[in-house]
């Protein structure tokens, strides 16, 4: 439950950042805005630094101010959750119809559904995208006495009036046949480890498992509920009601406070905590979170070793957020170091490629530089040779002794005894 408490706070910060125009928020404004979410002074910055895989703090390149934004992993998780929301929207409509059918009058306050919308897999704008979009299933109206909005089911569908536990019993009937006659009104009971079961308690559980009861979808207003037998049946019906309500949630769990919102509409007992503790083999109550004030009710048969037996896409998307929260900040620092190492390695490789390119393609220029270092005389000869070759136009059969007949030389040493020849002398020599 500690991780669940962190998820709630992280979701608040994510919604705050996504509500900004550029999906970034100034660190200077973060402390003042986070107080609206219930954080104390200077608590928001310390909280963000604990989860570097979700929140990224960077410096604006122009303003030189620290900003906070979501990381790439967090954006991918949000995108996956949104896709899962859209994919399971038809199932969410069916779940909402069944919850309305669980109530005695077929109507529930809109605010109570809004509080539990994440557990039911409903989008944020479910009032428009679900209720008003399907007028053949739902009706939205304002109550005259309380001035509150209510959701009412238009028509009760008998095909949906089948509980999850009844489907499980039907499966057992098909597999075991007549041997499963004793499980007609029984529930799956898994007591916690170390739970001591006495002799008389076993007998009481055995009798309770075979006690008939009315279905949560069945109308009981026409029955006489004053007898002791009827009270026992109504008590078992309340267990089936909570069992069905948890089965309709995405993660097969719901806080005790949110279950209490449906108490009047579903005829649940007043002291819910004491009532659920009497059936520890069916429900598990966790008090970890918010210093023991938050109570979360889990459906035992749906979990095994802390995970759902039959997970859905929305549950898996939310589990990825929990994985990002549980990742150590050291791994985030390691990822940054590896990223900088890859960039430095890429720079070194680009430098080596440029060096190899210069050595392979510009070797002639490097040779000329080396020749220039050997002496000025050799440089003059090479330049004269290059000028003669260009002037001859590629005549390779003439004698090499005619090097000085290739035109007027541009390289003349002032201290030497050599005198430059004229064009007439060159012509005479050629003849």
pLDDT tens per residue, range 299-327 = 999 998 888 999 989 999 989 998 998 88
Q: Which residues of the chain have pLDDT under 50?
A: 334, 336-343, 353-354, 357-358, 363-431
**By CB neighbour count within 10 A (0-12 exposed, 13-18 middle, 19+ buried), where does 241 fall?**
buried
Nearest Cα residue to 35 out of 23, 44, 22: 44
**By CB neighbour count within 10 A (0-12 exposed, 13-18 middle, 19+ buried), where does 91 fall?**
middle
- For residue 157, the cross-strand partners are none
CA 190 to chain CA mean position, Å: 32
Q: Compute the chain's Rg from CA coordinates.
A: 42
- The pLDDT score that the predictor gives to residue 288 is 65
**By CB neighbour count within 10 A (0-12 exposed, 13-18 middle, 19+ buried), where does 238 fall?**
buried
Contacts of 322 (CB under 8 A, 6+ apart): 3, 7
- The pLDDT score that the predictor gives to residue 172 is 82
Whole-angstrom distance, CA of residue 316 vs CA of residue 251: 10
Whole-angstrom distance, CA of residue 370 vs CA of residue 287: 83
Whole-angstrom distance, CA of residue 88 vs CA of residue 83: 9
The three state secondary structure string of the chain is CHHHHHHHHHHHHHHHHHCCCCCCEEHHHHHHHHHHHCCCCCHHHHHHHCCCCCEEEEECCCCCCEEEEECHHHHHHHHHHHHHHHHCHHHHHHHHHHHHHHCCCCEEEHHHHHHCHHHHCCCCCHHHHHHCCCCCCEEEEECCCCCCEEEEECCCCHHHCCCHHHHHHHHHHHHHHHHHHHHCCCCCCCCCCCCCCCHHHHHHHHHHHCCCCCCCCCCCCCCCCCCHHHHHHHHHHHHHHHHHHHHCCCCCEEEHHHHHHCHHHHCCCCCHHHHHHCCCCCEEEECCCCCCCCCEEEEHHHEECCEECCCCHHHHHHHHHHHHHHCCHHHHHHHHHHHHHHHHHHHHHHHHHHHHHHHHHCHHHHHHHHHHHHCHHHHHHHHHHHHHHHHHCCCCCCCHHHHHHCCCCCCCCCCCCCCCCCHHHHHHHHC
């Amino acid at each position: 439950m500690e991780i669940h408490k962190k998820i709630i706070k992280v979701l608040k910060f994510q919604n705050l950042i996504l509500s900004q125009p550029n999906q970034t928020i100034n660190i200077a404004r973060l402390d003042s805005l986070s107080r609206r979410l219930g954080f104390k002074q200077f608590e928001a910055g310390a909280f963000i630094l604990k989860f570097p895989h979700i929140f990224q703090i960077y410096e604006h390149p122009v303003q030189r101010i620290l900003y906070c934004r979501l990381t790439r992993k967090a954006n991918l998780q949000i995108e996956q959750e949104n896709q899962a929301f859209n994919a399971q929207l038809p199932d969410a409509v069916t779940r909402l119809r069944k919850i309305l059918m669980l109530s005695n009058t077929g109507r529930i306050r809109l605010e109570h559904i809004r509080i539990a919308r994440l557990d039911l897999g409903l989008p944020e704008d479910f009032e428009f995208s679900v209720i008003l979009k399907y007028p053949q299933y739902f009706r939205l109206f304002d109550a005259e006495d309380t001035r509150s909005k209510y959701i009412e089911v238009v028509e009760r569908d008998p095909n949906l009036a089948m509980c999850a536990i009844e489907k499980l019993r039907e499966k057992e009937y098909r597999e075991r046949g007549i041997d499963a006659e004793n499980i007609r009104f029984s529930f799956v009971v898994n007591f916690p480890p170390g739970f001591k079961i006495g002799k008389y308690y076993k007998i009481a559980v055995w009798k309770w498992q075979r006690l008939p009861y009315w279905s949560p979808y069945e109308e009981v207003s026409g029955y006489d509920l004053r007898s002791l037998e009827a009270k026992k049946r109504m008590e078992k019906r309340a267990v089936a009601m909570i069992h069905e309500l948890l089965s309709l949630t995405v993660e097969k769990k719901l806080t005790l406070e949110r279950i209490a919102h449906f108490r009047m509409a579903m005829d649940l007992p007043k002291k819910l905590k004491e009532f659920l503790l009497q059936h520890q083999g069916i429900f598990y109550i966790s008090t970890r979170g918010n210093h023991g004030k938050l109570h979360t009710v889990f459906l035992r048969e749906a979990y095994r070793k802390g995970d759902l037996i039959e997970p859905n896409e929305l549950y898996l998307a939310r589990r990825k957020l929990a994985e990002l929260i549980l990742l150590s900040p050291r791994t985030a620092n390691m990822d940054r170091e590896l990223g900088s190492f890859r960039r430095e390695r890429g720079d070194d490789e680009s430098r080596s490629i440029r060096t190899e390119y210069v050595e392979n393609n510009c070797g002639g220029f490097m040779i000329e530089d080396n020749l220039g270092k050997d002496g000025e005389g050799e440089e003059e000869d090479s330049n004269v040779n290059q000028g003669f070759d260009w002037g001859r136009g590629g005549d390779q059969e003439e004698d090499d002794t005619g090097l000085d007949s290739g035109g007027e030389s541009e390289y003349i040493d002032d201290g030497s005894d050599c005198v430059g020849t004229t064009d007439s002398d060159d012509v005479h020599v050629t003849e």
